[in-house]
Amino acid sequence: MVQIRMPNAEMPIMTDVKLSDEVCNNDKAYFSRAHNRCSELRRKISRLWGILMPILTLSFQLGCDRGISSHPKELAGSSPPPKSELVPLTNMVFIKAGTFVRIKHPVTLTRDFWLGKYEVTQGEYSAVMGKNPSHFPGDPNRPVEKMSWFDAVRYCSAITKHERDGGRLPSGYEYRLPSEAEWEYACRAGTTNLFSFGDAATAADQYAWTAENSQAITHPVGQKRPNPWGLHDIHGNVWEWCLDWFEKYPAVDVTDPTGPATGKFKVFRGGGLNNDIEYARSANRFMMSPSNGIYFVGFRVALSESKRVQPER
């Protein structure tokens, strides 16, 4: 029974329609072919899905990996950044830890360090700090002078940052002023004499610029003979700032002394163009306010593992 809607009819009219065997057979054949096509299509889709599924899974995994890698802190087991390799500045002399005697008491240094072969020159200082405060300009190889202790510390800090940014200074190392004990230990270079070159002041002309031969001016670094450990101008030319605040030496054996935590004056050592050779003895010391700068005081740079934070102004 087939329901047929007649044109313009208000109600459907029911009538009997008898389909011929030919029509029925044709319909059966049509539906059979459609069924076969659907089955074949399903098989093709199934095979295609089997190929696409692994590809989609891999793509999803790669996308997730990229998302995680953009947040290294969240990636378990991620490799740490490469460590910097220590490459000291040119002309730094390695100083092995050891002991020297000061006023009958041993002073022991337990840490190796490096010390500049030369005093910091005007050319080096102006290249980093953008200015040259020196009283004796005219030759960039002359030692820089007339800078305060604070200026010298700022220079060392600038060098530390520059070398660390360049990947040549690992974390935990710093450029700084030498402690007074480090300076004297390096100046003596294993000797126990008045000077690193012996006790005879008459030999000083080969090693030091002092009032006797300086003509009251500074001279380019490295023109005189070095001490036994290869340090030039450790006696004379300009005095050299040290890290420590000034105080009287304790009458006891000491290890890694760095002076008092606070004070009024900073120590400088080594003698200079303005004083006779006797003031350039290995043990001699002077002091000055750290905010002052004067034409006969310069500095040289030390390098070591960090031990304490540099005092700030």
Q: How do residues 62-72 score in pLDDT, each as one tens digit? A: 444 444 344 44
pLDDT: is 101 or 22 the higher one?
101
Residue 140 lies in a domain: yes
pLDDT given for residue 104 in this prediction: 95
Residue 3 lies in a domain: no
Token pair listed for 251: 């009458």
Are 287 and 146 members of one domain? yes
pLDDT given for residue 52 in this prediction: 58
Distances (CA, A) of 134 to 139, 147, 292, 300: 11, 7, 13, 15
Are 294 and 229 members of one domain? yes
Q: Does the pLDDT at position 11 exceed 90?
A: no
What would the DSSP string read from start to end of the chain? -EEEPPTT-SS-EEE--PPPHHHHHHHHHHHHHHHHHHHHHHHHHHHHHHHHHHHHHHHHHHHHHHHHHT-GGGSTTPPPPPPPPP-PPTTEEEE--EEEEETTEEEEE-S-EEEESSPPBHHHHHHHHS----SS-S-TTSBP-S--HHHHHHHHHHHHHHHHHTT-S-TTEEEEPPPHHHHHHHHHTT--SSBTTBS-GGGGGGT-B-TTTSTTS---TT-SPP-TTS-TTSSBSSEEEEEEEP-PPPSS-EES----SS-S-EEEES--TTS-GGGG-TT-EEEE-TT---TTEE---EEEE--SPPP--
Q: Does the pLDDT at position 73 exceed 50?
A: no
pLDDT given for residue 83 in this prediction: 73
pLDDT: is 40 or 116 the higher one?
116
Where a domain ends, among 48, 74, 100? Answer: 74
Residue 2 lies in a domain: no
The CATH number assigned to the domain holding 112 equals 3.90.1580.10
Q: Are 282 and 191 in contact (CB under 8 A)?
A: yes
pLDDT digits 0-9 by tens, 170-195: 999 999 999 999 999 999 999 999 99
Are 70 and 202 members of one domain? no
pLDDT given for residue 84 in this prediction: 83
pLDDT grade for 240, boundaries at 50, 70 and 90: very high
What contacts 47, CB < 8 A, 6 or more positions away?
none
Are 114 and 63 members of one domain? no
Are 52 and 173 members of one domain? no
Are 135 and 219 members of one domain? yes
Residue 289 lies in a domain: yes
pLDDT digits 0-9 by tens, 258-309: 999 999 999 999 999 999 999 999 999 999 999 999 999 999 999 999 864 3
- Please give the residue range of the domain that contains residue 58: 14-74
Residue 189 lies in a domain: yes
The structural domain count of the chain equals 2
Are 64 and 102 members of one domain? no
Residue 171 lies in a domain: yes
Are 134 and 229 members of one domain? yes
Are 149 and 49 members of one domain? no
Q: What is the mean pLDDT of residues 7-35?
A: 44
Residue 169 lies in a domain: yes
The number of C-alpha atoms within 13 Å of 209 and in the hemisphere containing its C-beta is 23
pLDDT given for residue 230 in this prediction: 98
Query: Hey, what long-range contacts does 199-202 have (CB within 8 A, 24 or more apart)?
Result: 201/277, 201/278
Rounded to the nearest 10 degrees, what angle do helices 149-165 and 122-129 cross at?
A: 70
Q: Does the pLDDT at position 137 exceed 90?
A: yes
pLDDT: is 296 or 2 the higher one?
296
Q: What is the mean pLDDT of residues 210-232?
A: 98
Determine the longest span between alpha carbons in the chain, in angstroms.
143
Are 61 and 204 members of one domain? no
Are 40 and 66 members of one domain? yes
Q: Does the pLDDT at position 37 exceed 90?
A: no
Residue 1 lies in a domain: no
Beta-carbon neighbour count of residue 185 at 10 Å?
A: 25
Are 109 and 18 members of one domain? no
Query: In percent, how much of the chain has pLDDT > 90?
Result: 71
Token pair listed for 166: 């360049």
Where a domain ends, among 74, 108, 142? Answer: 74
pLDDT given for residue 80 in this prediction: 57
pLDDT given for residue 138 in this prediction: 94
